[in-house]
């Protein structure tokens, strides 16, 4: 397969597959944690092969260091700490920090912009 961007239909299929894999990983986690870790590695392989990102819904469900599936309260903890979401992986003790101030700011900006567009359309 050639490198570079994939056609949209291929990306759609890849996203669907990753979604299925992560849902399975979530379902299997309590009985079979090893199986869920394997599903995450399959999903990562798909994301690399098709040059797509892991769906944002699942981006926080795996460890960025050891790539194991993280289920809050079972093998990870999520804490809010000065404008950051701290996700701690109990498998390798890696701590991921995701700032959410930027997200808040972007949301606010989008709201203002949509308001301006609406206003402009009314005039
Ligand atoms: Zn980890």
pLDDT digits (tens, 9 = 90+) for 39-67: 999 999 999 999 999 999 999 999 999 99
Beta strands 95-99; 76-81: pairing state: unpaired
Q: Ligand 1 centre from 109 Cα, in Å?
A: 34
The rounded distance, in Å, linking the Cα atoms of 69 and 67 is 7
Looking at the domain 1-59, which fold is it? Answer: 1.20.5
Contacts 24+ apart (CB under 8 A), 68-76: 68/37, 68/40, 68/92, 69/22, 69/25, 69/26, 69/29, 69/33, 69/36, 69/37, 69/39, 69/40, 71/26, 71/29, 71/30, 71/36, 74/29, 74/30, 75/33
Q: Is pLDDT of 37 > 80?
A: yes
Q: Ligand 1 centre from 75 Cα, in Å?
A: 9
Q: How far apart are the first and last CA of the chain?
A: 51
Listed residues: CB within 5 A of ion ligand 1: 63, 65-66, 89, 91-92, 94
Q: Ligand 1 centre from 71 Cα, in Å?
A: 12
Could you give phi then psi for residue 25, rounded to 5 degrees? -60, -40
Residue 4 banded pLDDT, cuts 50, 70, 90 = low
Please say whether the beta carbons of 73 and 29 come within 8 A: no
70-119 residue pLDDT tens: 998 899 999 988 888 899 999 999 999 988 776 677 888 899 988 888 88
Q: Is pLDDT of 3 > 70?
A: no
Q: Ligand 1 centre from 70 Cα, in Å?
A: 8
Q: Ligand 1 centre from 105 Cα, in Å?
A: 29
Domain ranges of the chain: 1-59, 64-123
Q: Ligand 1 centre from 42 Cα, in Å?
A: 17
Q: What share of the chain is helix, strand, coil (3-state, %, to 5)?
A: 50, 15, 35
Q: What is the pTM of this model?
A: 0.76
Q: Ligand 1 centre from 50 Cα, in Å?
A: 24
């Amino acid at each position: 397969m050639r490198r570079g961007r994939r056609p949209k239909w291929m990306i759609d299929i890849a996203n669907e597959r990753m979604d299925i894999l992560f849902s399975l990983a979530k379902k299997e986690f309590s009985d079979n944690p090893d199986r869920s870790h394997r599903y995450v590695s399959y999903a990562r392989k798909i994301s690399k092969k098709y040059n797509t990102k892991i769906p944002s819904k699942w981006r926080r469900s795996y460890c960025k260091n050891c790539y194991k599936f993280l289920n809050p309260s079972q093998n990870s903890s999520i804490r809010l700490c000065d404008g950051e979401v701290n996700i701690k992986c109990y498998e390798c003790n890696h701590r991921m920090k995701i700032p959410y101030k930027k997200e808040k700011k972007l949301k606010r900006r989008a709201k203002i912009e949509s308001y301006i567009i609406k206003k402009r359309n009314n005039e």
